[in-house]
């Protein structure tokens, strides 16, 4: 019998999961509270870079259905929750969407169903938050009447080599049977499933991965500031260090961290660490260092203009690439925003070019992307490479431009100065 799956939350994580499940022959329903997401997907319009319109057409052809009606949960063998886990205004975890989605599941939960949480969260969420909501709403017991597991999503938007199917998938269940059920489910969709001892360890695995990146990126950011003062080429040093075949992994400095994961997820861990009376000092330090990078880049812009006897005030500063990551359109938490805001406050005429972002907001203003890179470069007093989209980096126009501040260490030439 075809197994049936409901994916709750059809964003960057839920939609690729639904696609792989469709490809594996499961009967897949997408449940989302946003009517524009439901209507868009049912009309064949995708809003997620990693799932293109022909992928979506194939999914719809295979019977993929998207709805806001939760009755689909009653006939699902498996329910996977992929809703957002942002921070609230005080920088602490906001589990509102996770709790709301779980309540919806609890009202329709049937005996024998496997429920999996994929949203990134702190250790203890599945057992201490999800379990009681499901049990209270359904009258069923986790581990006996239904199965409950956590499986962190490792999706890396825009990565052409590693996707959901070939990236090993960690799962941890409330009980050994819950883990077994989750392994059986994901075995249908991904090449390698990695069971761990429980939900807390699976939850921590994801935060460990993101915290490791966060700390190492911050280390490079801090080093970039003093290497510039010491007149040492950090980029060349990283290239040299990474020839060591063991014990070193290369990370790179940049204009600040962005996206839905690195600036947010480690806060989930530091929040829970505080509950046992400690401060997670590595995370706090990493955050402090990387948060200062946009202001540091603005200072370097000032220095570069100064070298040409120009002031920031009144100069045209062109930002190339404003999304948080290369070759994706996601603008969430992008470091380009505080950078643009700071330059604008200093009096610069900030413009931008980004083939992935038609519009870009900062300081309550909305800019529209320059449409001709060559003309935009010619009109700029200084150009800053903020995001290394292939289309920008590979453009021959950059070699004909005036002075460029490269915050990604990917350009070379007499007109280029690296961070």
Give catalytic residues, as residue numbers: 261
Are 336 and 320 within 8 A, CB to CB? Answer: no
Cα gap 285→186, rounded to integer Å? 37
Residue with Cβ nearer ligand NAD (100 or 375): 100
Element (H, E) at 360: strand 359-362
Are 170 and 205 within 8 A, CB to CB? Answer: yes
Three-state SS for 237?
Answer: helix
- Bridge pairing between strands 27-31 and 404-406: unpaired
Q: Where are the beta strands (DSSP E) in 108-189?
A: 114-117, 147-150, 169-173
Cα gap 416→141, rounded to integer Å? 63
Min. distance of Cβ 260 from ligand NAD in angstroms? Answer: 4
Residues 6 or more apart whose Cβ sits within 8 Å of residue 88? 94
Q: Note the maximum CA span of the chain.
A: 74
Residue with Cβ nearer ligand NAD (30 or 409): 30
Between helices 265-274 and 199-230, what is the axis angle to 10°? 110
Min. distance of Cβ 206 from ligand NAD in angstroms? Answer: 7
Min. distance of Cβ 18 from ligand NAD in angstroms? Answer: 11
Question: Token digits for 202?
Answer: 């699976």
Residue with Cβ nearer ligand NAD (33 or 140): 33
Min. distance of Cβ 113 from ligand NAD in angstroms? Answer: 17
Min. distance of Cβ 139 from ligand NAD in angstroms? Answer: 21
Residue with Cβ nearer ligand NAD (134 or 404): 134
Measure Cα distances from 42 to 18, 57, 174 in Å. Answer: 13, 9, 35
Neighbouring C-beta atoms of residue 250, cutoff 10 Å = 12
Neighbouring C-beta atoms of residue 111, cutoff 10 Å = 10
Residue for token pair 């499933």: 193
Three-state SS for 112?
Answer: coil
Closest residue to ligand NAD, judged by C-beta, is 11
Residue with Cβ nearer ligand NAD (10 or 301): 10
By the criterion CB under 6 A, which residues form the site for ligand NAD?
A: 8-14, 31-34, 37, 82-85, 97, 100-101, 119-120, 153, 155, 157, 260-261
Cα angle, residue 290 at apex, residues 151 and 349 outer, rounded to 5°: 120
Residue with Cβ nearer ligand NAD (13 or 384): 13
Min. distance of Cβ 265 from ligand NAD in angstroms? Answer: 6
Min. distance of Cβ 75 from ligand NAD in angstroms? Answer: 17
Residue with Cβ nearer ligand NAD (155 or 297): 155
């Amino acid at each position: 019998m075809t197994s049936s799956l409901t994916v709750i939350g059809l964003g960057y994580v839920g939609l690729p999961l639904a696609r792989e499940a469709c490809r594996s022959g499961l009967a897949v329903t997408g449940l989302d509270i946003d009517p524009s997401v439901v209507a868009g997907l049912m009309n064949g319009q995708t809003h997620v870079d990693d799932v293109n319109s022909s992928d979506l057409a194939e999914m719809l052809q295979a019977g993929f259905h998207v709805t806001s009606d939760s009755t689909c949960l009653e006939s699902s063998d498996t329910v996977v929750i992929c809703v957002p886990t942002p921070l609230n205004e005080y920088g602490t975890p906001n589990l509102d969407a996770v709790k709301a989605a779980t309540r919806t599941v609890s009202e329709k939960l049937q005996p024998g169903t496997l429920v999996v949480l994929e949203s990134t969260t702190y250790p203890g969420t599945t057992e201490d938050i999800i379990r009681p909501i499901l049990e209270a709403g359904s009258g069923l017991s986790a581990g006996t009447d239904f199965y409950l597991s956590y499986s962190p999503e490792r999706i890396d938007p825009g990565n052409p080599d590693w996707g959901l199917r070939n990236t090993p998938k960690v799962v941890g269940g409330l009980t050994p049977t819950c883990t077994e059920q989750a392994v059986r489910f994901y075995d249908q969709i991904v090449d390698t499933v990695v069971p761990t001892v429980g939900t807390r360890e699976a939850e921590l695995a994801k935060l460990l991965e993101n915290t490791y990146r966060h700390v190492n990126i911050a280390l490079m950011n801090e080093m970039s500031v003093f290497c510039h003062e010491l007149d040492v080429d950090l980029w060349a040093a990283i290239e040299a260090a990474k020839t060591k075949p063991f014990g070193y992994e290369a990370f790179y400095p940049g204009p600040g961290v962005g996206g839905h994961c690195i600036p947010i997820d480690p806060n989930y861990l530091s929040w829970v660490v505080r509950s046992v009376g400690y401060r997670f000092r590595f995370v706090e330090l990493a955050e402090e260092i990387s948060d200062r990078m946009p202001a540091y880049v603005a200072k370097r812009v000032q220095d570069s203009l100064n070298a040409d006897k120009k002031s920031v005030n009144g100069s045209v500063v062109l930002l190339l690439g404003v999304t948080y990551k290369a070759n994706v359109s996601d603008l969430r938490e992008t470091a380009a925003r505080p950078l643009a805001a700071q330059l604008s406050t200093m009096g610069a005429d900030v413009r931008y070019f980004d083939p992935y972002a038609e519009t870009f907001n900062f300081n309550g203003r909305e800019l529209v992307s320059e449409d001709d890179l060559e003309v935009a470069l010619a009109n700029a007093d200084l150009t800053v490479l903020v995001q290394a989209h292939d289309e920008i980096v590979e453009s021959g126009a950059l070699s004909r431009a005036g002075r460029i501040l490269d915050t990604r260490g990917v350009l070379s030439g007499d007109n280029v100065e690296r961070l």
